[in-house]
Structure 1
Amino acid sequence: MSESAQLPRLRAKKRLGQNFLVNEGAITTIVGSALGSKASRLLEIGPGPGVLTERLLADGRPLWAVDLDPEACALLSGRFSGKPHFHLLEGDAVRLPLPEGGPWSVVGNLPYNAATPILARLLTEGIPWDRMVLMFQLEVAQKLMGEPGTKAYGPLSVLAQLCARLTRLVKLGPGSFRPAPKVDSAVVQFEPRSEAPSLVERRALLTVLHRSFSHRRKTLANNWQGLLPAESLSEAGLAPALRAEVVPPAAWLSATRALLIQHPEVFPS
C-alpha cells in the first residue's frame, strides 16, 4: 500500500465536494504526467491544502491555482505567496475568468460536485491546453471513456473523445483521500486531438447529443419528434430507427456538421 502524504491543516467541506488526496503514489503519478507537458504554464483546479501545488511549483513554471474555498486560499497564500511564479485565483472554476496566454498544463483533484461542468468548460470555451490530468469519480471517468453500445456511453463520452485522446492513469479507492469518499475515483489524462471539432461545432454537438440522448431507450426519430423529421436525420447520416447509444463519435460529428448547414434553426443563437 502506498504511503500517505501529510496534509496541512484544512477542514474539508462537504458542500464544496472536497476530498483531499493523500495517496503518495497517485500524487507522484499526477504531478509527473502534468509536468510531462511542454506547456509554458500550469493551471491547478481545486488545490485544497496544496499537496500537488508544492510539487508542481518545484518545476519552476508559472502556476495559477484556482480554488473556491476562502480557507484553502488563505492557507495556500500563506504557504506559497513568497514564490514569484505562484498565482492564486479565488473563485469558481466553472466561470472564473482565466489569464490569457499560451497553453496550460491543467491538473486537478476536481471537486466531485463540479467536475463535469468544469470539464465541459475546458472543452468548449477555447481555453488553450496542451495536457489535462484530472481526477473524477470512477463513474464519471467510465462515462468519459465509454464505448458505443455500453451503458456508460453518452454525450460526455462523445465530446471528450472527439476533442482528446484519453488515458486512465490510475484508479483509487476511498482510502486514498481524507476524508474518505463513498466512491472510487480515477485519474484521466487528456491530450488534444489535432482534428478536434471547432468551438462552434462542439457547442452544436452538445445540442444534438442532449436531444438525441434525452430518452436513452427511445429511437432518434422519437427523441427529435417535433423538431426534425426523420428524413432530415437520415440526410445528416443518422438512421432514425437507431438509439443514440449505438452511434459512434465520428458519426455524431459528421451529423452535427450537416445539421448546422441544413437546419441552423435547431441550434441556439
Structure 2
Amino acid sequence: MYTLKKSLGQHFLKDENICRKIIDALQQKKFTQLLEVGPGGGAITKYLIQLPGIDFKAVELDEEKVTYLQATYPELKDRIINQSFLDIEAPFTGSFAVIGNFPYNISTQILFKVLDWRQQVPWLVGMFQKEVAQRVAAKEGSKVYGVISVLIQAFYKVDYLFDVSENSFNPPPKVKSGVISLTLRDDVPAMLSEKHFFTLVKAAFNQRRKTLRNATRSLFSDTALQDDIFNKRAEQLSIDDFARLTFNMKTN
C-alpha cells in the first residue's frame, strides 16, 4: 500500500460514484491524448486507462505513489512522469486534455500553467477546493470574482459541474470540493496584448475596494481616466470591459 503525505496536500478520492461522474464529464468532449495530474492512489486512473484509443500519461510527484501505481496497474509502465506538474514541459505534441483531482495547495498555479499551455489544452476537467472552483467560475458582480476569474474566462469557457463532499475522500479534507470544466474559447475578446490585459486585471483587483480610476491610474492618461467606466470597481467589469480598456492604456 502507500502512505498519505500531508506535506503534499494528499486527500485521496474514495467515492466511486464521484469518480464515475468525473469520467462522464471528461467524455463530453473528444480527445486522443490525455494527461492526469496527481493520480495519487489511482481512484480516477483506473477508469482512464480503460478509455479506448487514448494516449494516456500521468504526472505524479510522490515517488511512493508512482511505485504503487506501476505495481497495481502494469499498463502504466513508462506512462508516469515522476515530477511536479509545475516543472514539466508539455508531455505531448499536439492537443491534449487534462484531468485531475488537483492538489489544493498548488491549484491556482496549476490553472495558470494550463493557461500558458492553452494552445495545446482545449479541454480540462478538474476537482478543486470548492472556494477556488467558485472563484474560477464567478461572474462580474460576485464577491469572489477576481483575477483568476477574469484571466481564465478570457480564454476558457468555465462550467461549474458539481460539488463533492469532504466525506468522499480519505482522509476527509476540512473543505468541500467542486468539479469544473474548462473549454477553450474560439471567441477570445480582442485586446491590445495579453501583457496589457494581465497587467490591467491584476492592478484593478490588487486594490479592489477602490474605484478603477484610483486602482489603475498609472496605466492610463488623464484623458482616458475621464471615462465613466473608471467610476466602477474591478468586480463590476466584465471580461469584455477589461479587454476593451487595454486599447486605451499607455503603451510605453
Q: TM-score w.r.t. structure 2 length?
A: 0.90
What is the aligned partner in structure 1 of residue 183 from structure 2?
191
Q: Check if 1:264 corresponds to 2:251.
A: yes
RMSD: 2.2
Whole-Å separation in 1 of the counterparts to 2:195 and 2:124:
20
What is the aligned partner in structure 1 of residue 235 from structure 2?
245
Contact residue 124 and residue 199 of structure 1 kept, 8 A: no
Select 2:10's aligned residue among 6, 10, 18: 18
Shift of 1:62: 1.2
Q: Check if 1:66 corresponds to 2:59.
A: yes
Shift of 1:199: 11
Contact residue 40 and residue 102 of structure 1 kept, 8 A: no
What is the aligned partner in structure 1 of residue 49 from structure 2?
57
Select 2:97's aligned residue among 105, 117, 140: 105
Whole-Å separation in 1 of the counterparts to 2:195 and 2:232:
23
Contact residue 190 and residue 243 of structure 2 kept, 8 A: no
Contact residue 23 and residue 176 of structure 1 kept, 8 A: yes
One-letter amino acid of the structure 2 residue matched with residue 264 of structure 1: T
Give ranges in structure 1 of 5+ residues lacking alignment.
1-8
Whole-Å separation in 2 of the counterparts to 1:166 and 1:126:
14
- The size of the alignment, in residue pairs, is 251
Q: Secondary structure at the match of 2:199?
A: helix
Residue identity (%): 31
Q: Secondary structure at the match of 1:181?
A: coil
Contact residue 41 and residue 105 of structure 1 kept, 8 A: yes
Q: Secondary structure at the match of 1:216?
A: coil
Shift of 1:70: 1.3
Select 2:73's aligned residue among 75, 80, 86: 80
Whole-Å separation in 1 of the counterparts to 2:46 and 2:67:
15
One-letter amino acid of the structure 2 residue matched with residue 67 of structure 1: E
- Cα displacement string for residues 89-116 of structure 1 (whole angstroms, at most 9, x for unaligned residues): 1111123112242221211000000111
Shift of 1:123: 1.3
Shift of 1:222: 1.5
Q: Secondary structure at the match of 2:104?
A: coil
Shift of 1:152: 0.8
Contact residue 37 and residue 98 of structure 2 kept, 8 A: yes
Contact residue 42 and residue 62 of structure 1 kept, 8 A: yes
Q: Secondary structure at the match of 1:218?
A: coil
Contact residue 65 and residue 89 of structure 1 kept, 8 A: yes
What is the aligned partner in structure 2 of residue 4 from structure 1?
none
Select 1:140's aligned residue among 132, 135, 145: 132
Counterparts in 2 of 1:57 and 1:82: CA distance versus 1, 3 Å = closer
Whole-Å separation in 2 of the counterparts to 1:161 and 1:46:
24
Give ranges in structure 2 of 5+ residues lacking alignment.
none
Counterparts in 2 of 1:200 and 1:222: CA distance versus 1, 3 Å = closer
Shift of 1:153: 0.6
Query: Which sits farther off after the overlay, 222-231 or 187-196?
Result: 222-231
Contact residue 105 and residue 129 of structure 1 kept, 8 A: yes
Contact residue 126 and residue 199 of structure 1 kept, 8 A: no
Contact residue 124 and residue 203 of structure 1 kept, 8 A: no
- Cα displacement string for residues 136-156 of structure 1 (whole angstroms, at most 9, x for unaligned residues): 111111111212122111111
One-letter amino acid of the structure 2 residue matched with residue 115 of structure 1: S
Shift of 1:241: 2.0
